[in-house]
């Protein structure tokens, strides 16, 4: 017998898709800013691809900033699964879950604890992903407003120079690209091994469990 449990609220699902889509735009346009692949003869004569790419990057950047704030709100005021401490490895049950999930992913065991929210391994990586987002925002805003005393103060304190901020901004783009591929691989692997409706849960909010097995 299966039972249906609500894992994710509407705001969380909106956050997820706005976050994922903004990152796709940021990566494509960020790549262009780093390595403008269009013909330089076109640039500035009858079309302005760099200006357009930068414009899209900044619009997606502000969407990204907005959704990071939504996630911060949900960390503290979301439902049980959305809260920071539900999956952060800060208590004995989550630390145990972190190691048992690693063992499960390495095929050392077939047993794993069914959870309505994230397991502690996924949760820790998701938290790190948001923290990386703060650095993208700080470096991005300093690159965007180099003359603002406020962003200069933060920028110099954290990154040292504009060139270093730009380098960190570029390297962290690779974090998101690698994260996205591993994220999709692990989601599909989980959905095949343990069909609890993991992928559909980020559209519908619901997951399915054998009766009385969830924490």
Q: Which residues bind ligand HEM (CB under 6 A)?
A: 16, 19-20, 23, 26-27, 30-31, 33-34, 54, 57-58, 61-62, 64-65, 71, 118, 122, 126, 129, 136-137, 140-141, 143-144, 166, 169-170, 173, 176, 179-180, 183-184, 187, 198-199, 201-202
Residue number of the CB closest to ligand HEM reads 140
Kind and range of the H or E run holding 206: strand 206-210
Q: In the bound complex, what is the minimum distance in angstroms from residue 158's beta carbon to ligand HEM?
A: 15
Q: Report the distance separating Cα 119 and Cα 203, nearest Å.
A: 19
Q: In the bound complex, what is the minimum distance in angstroms from residue 160's beta carbon to ligand HEM?
A: 16
Q: Report the distance separating Cα 138 and Cα 142, nearest Å.
A: 6
Q: Report the distance separating Cα 43 and Cα 73, nearest Å.
A: 42
Q: Report the distance separating Cα 121 and Cα 88, nearest Å.
A: 8
| 99: number of Cβ within 10 Å | 12
Nearer to ligand HEM, 61 or 155 (CB): 61
Q: In the bound complex, what is the minimum distance in angstroms from residue 189's beta carbon to ligand HEM?
A: 12
Nearer to ligand HEM, 108 or 128 (CB): 128
Q: Report the distance separating Cα 16 and Cα 67, nearest Å.
A: 8
Q: In the bound complex, what is the minimum distance in angstroms from residue 3's beta carbon to ligand HEM?
A: 18
């Amino acid at each position: 017998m299966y039972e249906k449990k609500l894992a994710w609220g509407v705001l969380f699902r909106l956050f997820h898709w706005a976050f994922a889509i903004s990152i796709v735009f940021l990566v494509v346009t960020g790549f262009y800013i780093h390595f403008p692949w269009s013909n330089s003869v076109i640039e500035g004569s009858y079309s302005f691809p760099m200006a357009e790419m930068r414009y899209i990057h900044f619009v997606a950047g502000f969407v990204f900033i907005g959704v990071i704030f939504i996630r911060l709100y949900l960390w503290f005021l979301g439902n049980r699964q959305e809260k920071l401490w539900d999956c952060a490895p800060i208590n004995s049950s989550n630390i145990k879950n972190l190691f048992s999930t690693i063992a499960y992913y390495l095929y050392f065991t077939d047993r794993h604890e069914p959870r309505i929210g994230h397991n502690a391994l996924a949760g820790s990586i998701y938290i790190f992903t948001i923290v990386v987002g703060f650095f993208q925002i700080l470096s991005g805003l300093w690159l965007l407003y180099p003359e603002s005393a406020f962003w200069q103060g933060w920028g110099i304190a954290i990154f040292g120079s504009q060139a270093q901020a730009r380098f960190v901004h570029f390297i962290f783009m690779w974090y998101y690209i690698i994260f996205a591929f591993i994220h999709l691989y692990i989601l599909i692997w989980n959905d095949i091994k343990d069909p609890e409706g993991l992928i559909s849960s980020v559209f519908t909010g619901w997951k399915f469990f054998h009766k009385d097995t969830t924490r």
